[in-house]
Amino acid sequence: MKSELLEIRRPIESELARYAELFDEVLSHDKPFMDGPLSHVRAKKGKLMRPILVLLMAKERGEVSQAALHSAVTLELLHTASLIHDDVVDESGERRGQASLHKLYDNKVAVLLGDYMLARSLHEAALTRKVEIVEEVALLGATLSEGEILQLANVENEELSEEAYYTIIRNKTSALFTVCGKIGAMAQDADEDYCRKAAKFGEIVGMCFQIRDDIFDYFDDASIGKPRGNDMREGKLTLPVIYAVNHSGDVTARELALRVKRFQASSEDIAKLIEFTKENGGIRHAQEVMERLRNEAKTIVSGFTNPDVRKALEQYIDFVIGREF
């Protein structure tokens, strides 16, 4: 594990250990036909960025409650279920260089297991004994689905708009991080002002997370787990190319971008558009947007009273923006 991530986790190490026990308990089953696919999910814990955010926001308000721990499990279950479903929808055989669940089993098992995890997610939310948290989780599930449908609908829209791009990622990646921050605060019975700040920090993290993820698509790197130009092959145009095409005024590049949206672009077309994006400031613009958001996020936590939590959250946003995959 990277040293930066170890530093971020330091204020909540004991809480993360308790979280991990709860998460593994939920994803264990006494029937082999269930425990087989669940064990595959248990083994792919990742960096735990979302549970870490929940617990750090809770820690700022004192000793982390049992409700906060259940909240962290809730959101990671929901996130993991959404990834399983996304892989089926996208027909993606790999995630981060490893076989997707539906490739190891089949689509039916993957969809049903995702549904099972969504149900367990709501149960964990109920264990917080806070109806407002259950409401946030239920609404989040609807928002994430809406974001996916919005992205599919946007492929048919020939307008190249940064605002449309931001709307999509606010309803997808950013929505989940927003609720991570907010529920971490709500689980500690925090006041409305703190809940608002925690939610806003989460929203910014989610925006940066997705922008950084989109930048990866313009470079070849086996560790990322997806080939260069994968988004464009799926008809998706992200912030770097939207900016480069709009600000260059290049008619040929715009036509290439529209061919991507129509699923008419060849591999050569995509390669040309990627290079055009790099040469016309697309990557630089995306990095500048993240830098502005980083400064906003650090302003939000500057008044936090727990110095260890404040430092960890500052390192958290730095890590999201600087991560390599």
* Per-domain boundaries in the chain: 3-322
For residue 98, what pLDDT is reported? Answer: 63
For residue 96, what pLDDT is reported? Answer: 56
Angle at 319 between CA 196 and CA 1, to 5 degrees: 125
Q: Specify which residues 94 forms β-bridges with.
A: 99
* Domain over 3-322 is classified CATH 3.40.109.10: no
Long-range contact list for 67-70, CB < 8 A, 24+ apart?
67/128, 67/129, 67/130, 67/133, 67/187, 67/188, 68/15, 68/184, 68/187, 68/188, 69/15, 69/18, 69/19, 69/22, 70/22, 70/124, 70/125, 70/127, 70/128, 70/187
DSSP state of 99: E
For residue 82, what pLDDT is reported? Answer: 84
4 three-class SS:
helix
How do the pLDDT tens digits run along the chain, 325 residues long? 578 899 999 999 999 999 999 999 988 888 887 877 788 777 777 899 999 999 999 999 999 999 999 999 999 999 988 888 777 766 665 555 566 666 556 778 788 888 988 999 999 999 999 999 999 999 998 898 888 888 877 777 778 899 999 999 999 889 999 999 999 999 999 999 999 999 999 999 999 999 999 999 999 865 555 568 889 998 899 999 999 999 999 999 999 999 999 999 999 999 999 999 999 999 999 999 999 999 999 999 999 999 999 999 999 999 999 987 6
Return d(Cα 156, Cα 313) in angstroms, integer: 38
In what helix (H) or strand (E) does residue 95 lie, and over which residues does it extend?
A: strand 94-95
For residue 172, what pLDDT is reported? Answer: 86
User: Which string of DSSP letters, residue by residue, matches 219-271?
Assistant: S--GGGSS-TTHHHHTT---HHHHHHHHHH--HHHHHHHHHHHTT---HHHHH
Sign of CA dihedral 310, 19, 103, 263: negative
Instruction: Show the tokens assigned to 252.
Output: 């040929």
Task: Mention every residue, 6+ apart, whose C-beta is less than 8 A from residue 258.
Answer: 158
**Strand 94-95 relative to strand 98-99: parallel, antiparallel, unpaired?**
antiparallel
